[in-house]
Amino acid sequence: MTQGSSSMHSLYPPIEPYRSGYLPVDDVHTLYWEECGNPQGVPVLFLHGGPGAGLSPTHRQFFDPSYYRIVLFDQRGAGRSTPLGCWEDNTTQLLIQDIEQIRLLMGLEQWLVFGGSWGSTLALAYGQAHPERCTGFILRGVFLCTQTEITWFMEGMGQFFPEARAPFVDHIPLEERGDLLAAYCTRLFGDDAQASLEAARIWSRYEGSCLHLLPHPEVADTFGTDAVALGVGRLEAHYFRNRGFLAEDQLIRQMGRISHLPAIVVQGRYDVVCPPQAAWRLHQAWPGSRLDIVEDAGHAALEPGTASALLAATEQFKQVLTP
């Protein structure tokens, strides 16, 4: 384990996709995908968080575009995938199938898998389902989707952000506050579209207010916009109420399927959304992994120390993956 990875490394300059498109994966969902960087480069798959948060152009900038063939996509119900915020036919197992469809579309045999927050959950679940397709993992802000972590998000996070939690709780009548997740699900998945949107905005804004070590109110404002909130609010609640469509502690219990592969885990010391205990447990179950604790960071990928550690990880994998 290394600590304090806060020396600054700039992200790579902004780039545009050289290829992008839409992939219908069933009668309901169509996924947006894109490729950036070197078409003959070493493949890397980027998995965004949430569930439902979608892609940002900045996500392309963690990777050397001269070395990597960078594949990104918006998961079901997120970003530019349609329909936005749709929870029907939206499970971890279906997302894994989607990843395989995208891999086949790209004509790839294997790829490095990079995922943060929920993206780390999906990366682990995908890797354990298809270990032969993975060359390694870069994971940030680890979320194992256990009941303890879900309860922490719903109940514990507010101990550090009480002013952000207050509107989240106040939106629910007093008699329903004994089970906030159930109360939000009633609103998010009910027939009243306006009530659903309002609940999604409040849920998403709460999370956006808790991402950073230092305040970033503009991020909370972005999370409160309809385009982000519909994905984040609805899909996080959907996955939480179904415990990620995983058996309890499945991702730790099935670590033997991928423990032979290299991994770098980057974790903010003061990550309140996904506390470091999950990253520590993963590292303990993965003897060949490296855990980088960033001492001056919360949950967000673009906090300086975390961004630096992620850049360093993608650079280190250039040495591991080059024949």
Active site residue 296: no
C-alpha span between 188 and 183 (Å, rounded): 9
Q: Which residue has the tokens 């205990």?
A: 277
C-alpha span between 196 and 269 (Å, rounded): 34
Instruction: Name every residue whose Cβ is closer than 8 Å to that of residue 304 and which is 6 or more positions away in sequence.
Output: 6, 8, 296, 297
Q: Check if the beta carbon of residue 137 is closer than 8 Å to that of residue 258.
A: yes
Question: What ranges in the chain are assigned the alpha helix state H?
Answer: 92-106, 118-129, 147-151, 162-170, 180-188, 193-208, 217-223, 226-241, 250-253, 277-285, 304-321
Residue of 51, 97, 84, 76 lying closest to 241 (CA atoms) = 51
Q: Check if the beta carbon of residue 24 is closer than 8 Å to that of residue 2.
A: no
| Cis peptide leading into residue 83 (ω within 30°) | yes
Q: Check if the beta carbon of residue 135 is closer than 8 Å to that of residue 110.
A: yes
Of the candidates 209, 271, 289, 308, the residue annotated as catalytic is: 271
Active site residue 48: no
Of the candidates 74, 292, 299, 308, the residue annotated as catalytic is: 299
Q: Check if the beta carbon of residue 37 is closer than 8 Å to that of residue 71.
A: no
Active site residue 117: yes
Of the candidates 5, 29, 64, 117, the residue annotated as catalytic is: 117
**Catalytic positions, written as ranges:** 117, 271, 299
